Structure 1
Amino acid sequence: MRHNDVHVTAEAARELDSFKSQPINFKIGFWDPSVNGVRYLKALTYNLAAGLSAESRARLRRISNRNIGEPITVKYAGDAVCMDYVQAVLELEFITAGFNPDGRRILEIGAGYGRACHTMLSNHDVAAYYIVDLENSLTLSSGYLEKVLDADQFAKVHFLTIDEVDELPDSERFDLGVGVNAFAEMTVDTVRNYLAFIDKRCDHFYVKDPVGKYLDGSLDGHSEGREVVELALTTGMLQDVIDVHDSEAVAAHARNFVSAYQPGAAWRCSADGWAAPWSFYWQALYKNERPAA
């Protein structure tokens, strides 16, 4: 009754041009996204959890202490699930289809708070895991990982500033380089420097990032201001502005993604594909086929 009086007014009921994205339809058809962000986040997380394979559900259950930091979670099949870790197990599922992390040395560039590392070490007996990041981010990831990993696992993690990674001896090599949502906010020169390092020091490389930029203000209201928007358009290797919710546009730009993140001429992309759930994210796994020295 209230909805009929407040939203479905006689005037609104006759205005059909945009009613499906207006309050008149938010009670009839779906919830208002502008004030129901957490509701939609939980719905998305729930659906992702429901679609996990049995293997990835097992991966998720091996990750202890996921509740530290008070994540926004849903309960599925008895498990508390948050968006971060459901993505992490999907990333690990993709990586391990073409690479076995057991006994290997891994280098991650831009680890955030460390969810990929936490997921990897909870599921595989890696030899060592190196994280390269800015100093404040290293403070966050080192503090978090010390809380969530056991002592033996944490002892395998090494934290390097950007200057320190440049000082590694030439003999220091890695079996896998990882970049998850890391490169799109860097300058082009910085990304190229990291790719050159990976080309020289790694045998495999996994990357997950956007295939392009967007200017659709309805997605976020450009809440951080025009200056931040303009800066975002100048960073990363892939700066074309596209309709990020057009599957054909995303697929067309995915070819640019695979080419842009190939670390060097001797590398081959062994697998690539859409990185759920974000419509314009892609992922790829590369192998260095350069003959051993």
Structure 2
Amino acid sequence: MNELWKYIGENEVNEENIGDLAEFKRSQVNYRLTYFDVRTNGVRYLKTLIYNLAGRLSEENWDRLRRISGRELGRPFAVTYDGESVDLDYLRAVRDLEFIERNVDLDGARVLEIGAGYGRTCHTLMSNKDISGYTVIDLPTTMALSRKYLREVLPDEQFKKVTFISVDEIETSLGDAVFDLCINIDSLAEMDVETVRYYLSLIAGRGRHFYTNNPVGKYMDKSLDDHARGEDAIARALDAGPLTDVIDVHDNRAVREQARGFVAAYRPHDSWHCVADEWAEPFTWYWQALFRAPAARR
């Protein structure tokens, strides 16, 4: 026996530590034998996920990714695959773009994004398509980040096409603008229902297409994060968004069943048609859909 396994046997995997088998697959015993401790190896698992997703990227998506310069800003957790640095945010962004492009011609398009985060989607679309104008609506605090980030990663002529509108200035700043594509990724599900209805109405009145990528429902699986943000935060999350059913988000049938409600909940208006919808990899409980306004609007 080598010194490593001598140590493991004396200190980690032995009859005393094995104990009752009821929970051993979530214990240090099994983490030494099969896979890395999930409690302390989050980055390892994240990089493994990125690596596997990168191995499945289409050549078209590799091309989309290569066109996006400045992705390394902010030191994202990344892997190197076929000589390219890849992180999860931009992997998701190019796949979002792929889904949208199947049904929307983005060259010359005017885009509205509600809740842009730090700006990865804007960065991706502006780097790949001839976008004529990109409008961001967001909270002032978050918008401070996206404005700063996009100023760094976009060339001046591209950054000048981006308009930033605070949530409290929507009515006074949008004017009579209409948009070929409206986008919301992972934020309507965090708003109160009245706010969601407001934004869907805004999209219905000003948009020609709407792309959304959001959770299909809520979950209460404490094993995922041990409810690290506290029970009050859990309660707030459970009340937010248009879909509040608690489901097993790691049951594909439960997610698929809930997806029917997702399409109904995110349709901007009854007259709008859902062009396409499907699971939004890699997170199990996310769904994506593209809606199109009635012909008279187009």
> Structure 2-normalised TM-score?
0.96
- Kindly provide the CA deviation profile for residues 193-234 of structure 1, in whole angstroms up to 9, marking residues without a partner as x: 000000000000000000000111110111111111111110
- Match among 176, 179, 189 for residue 184 of structure 1: 189
What is the alpha-carbon distance in structure 1 between the residues aligned to residue 297 and residue 263 of structure 2?
24
Aligned counterparts of 2:265 and 2:97: Cα–Cα separation in 1: 22
Deviation at 1:102, TM superposition (A): 0.6
Aligned residues: 293
Is structure 2 residue 94 aligned with structure 1 residue 81? no
State the shift of 1:138 in Å.
1.0
- Contact persistence 1:188–1:235 (CA under 8 A): yes
Q: Are residues 1:72 and 2:77 paired?
A: yes
Distance 1:286 1:245 in 2: 26
The residue aligned with 1:17 is: 22
State the shift of 1:70 in Å. Answer: 1.0
Distance in 2, Cα, partners of 1:12 & 1:281? 39
**Counterpart-to-counterpart distance in 1, 2:297 and 2:236:** 41
Deviation at 1:147, TM superposition (A): 0.2
Letter in structure 1 aligned against 2:291: Y
Q: Equivalences for 1:46-61 in 2 at 5 Å? A: 46-61=51-66
In the alignment, the residues of structure 2 paired with residue 127 and residue 92 of structure 1 have an alpha-carbon distance, to the nearest angstrom, of: 16
For 2:233, give the aligned amino acid: V
User: Which whole-Å CA distance do the structure 2 matches of 1:34 and 1:238 have between them?
Assistant: 29
Q: State yes or no: 1:45 paired with 2:50.
A: yes
User: Does the CA-based 8 Å contact 1:268-1:287 persist in structure 2?
Assistant: yes
The residue number in structure 2 matching 1:116 is: 121
Q: Distance in 2 between matches of 1:62 and 1:31?
A: 35
1:31 to 36, 51, 59: 36
Q: Between 73-82 and 283-292, report the one with greater CA deviation.
A: 283-292
Contact 2:13-2:32 at 8 Å conserved across structures: no
Aligned residue for 1:167, secondary structure, equals helix
Residues 72/174 of structure 1: CA separation in 2 closer, same or farther (3 Å cut): same
Quote the offset at 1:15 in angstroms. Answer: 3.0
Counterpart for residue 137 of structure 2: 132
How far residue 16 of structure 1 moved from its aligned partner, in angstroms, is 2.2
2:167 match: 162
Residue 110 of structure 2 aligns with which residue? 105
Secondary structure in 1 aligned to 2:277?
strand
Q: Work out whether 1:281 is the aligned partner of 2:283.
A: no
Provide structure 1 residue ranges, at least 5 long, that are not aligned to the other structure.
none
Q: Which amino acid aligns with 1:165?
A: I
CA contact (8 A) 1:176 1:202 kept: yes
Q: Per-residue displacement from partner, 1:233-278 (whole Å, max 9, x unpaired)?
A: 1000000011110101100000000000000011000000000110
Corresponding residue of 1:4? 9
- Tell me the SS of whatever aligns to 1:89: helix
Mapped contact 2:208–2:297 kept (Cα < 8 A): no
Q: Do the aligned residues in 2 keep the contact of 1:266 with 1:290 (CA within 8 Å)?
A: no
Relative distance call for 1:135 and 1:26 in structure 2 (3 A) is same
Instruction: Report the alpha carbon displacement of residue 87 of structure 1 after superposing the two structures with TM.
Output: 0.7
Distance in 1 (CA, whole Å) between partners of 2:170 and 2:81 is 40
CA–CA distance in 1 between the matches of 2:106 and 2:181?
Answer: 8
In structure 2, the CA distance between the partners of 1:292 and 1:31, relative to structure 1 (3 Å rule), is closer
> How far apart, in 1, do the equivalents of 2:251 and 2:105 lie?
34
RMSD: 1.3
CA contact (8 A) 1:272 1:282 kept: yes
For residue 172 of structure 1, report the CA deviation from its aligned partner.
1.2
- The structure carrying a bigger helix percent of its residues is 2
Please list every run of at least 4 consecutive aligned residues from structure 1 whose deviation after the TM superposition is greater than 4 angstroms.
none
Q: Secondary structure at the match of 1:86?
A: helix
The secondary structure found in structure 2 opposite 1:206 is strand
5+ residue gaps, structure 2: none
Does 2:189 correspond to 1:172? no
* TM-score, normalised by the number of residues in structure 1: 0.97
**Aligned AA (1:148):** V
Inter-partner Cα distance in structure 2 for 1:196 and 1:69: 35
Quickly say closer, same or farther: Cα 1:35–1:292, change in 2 above 3 A: closer
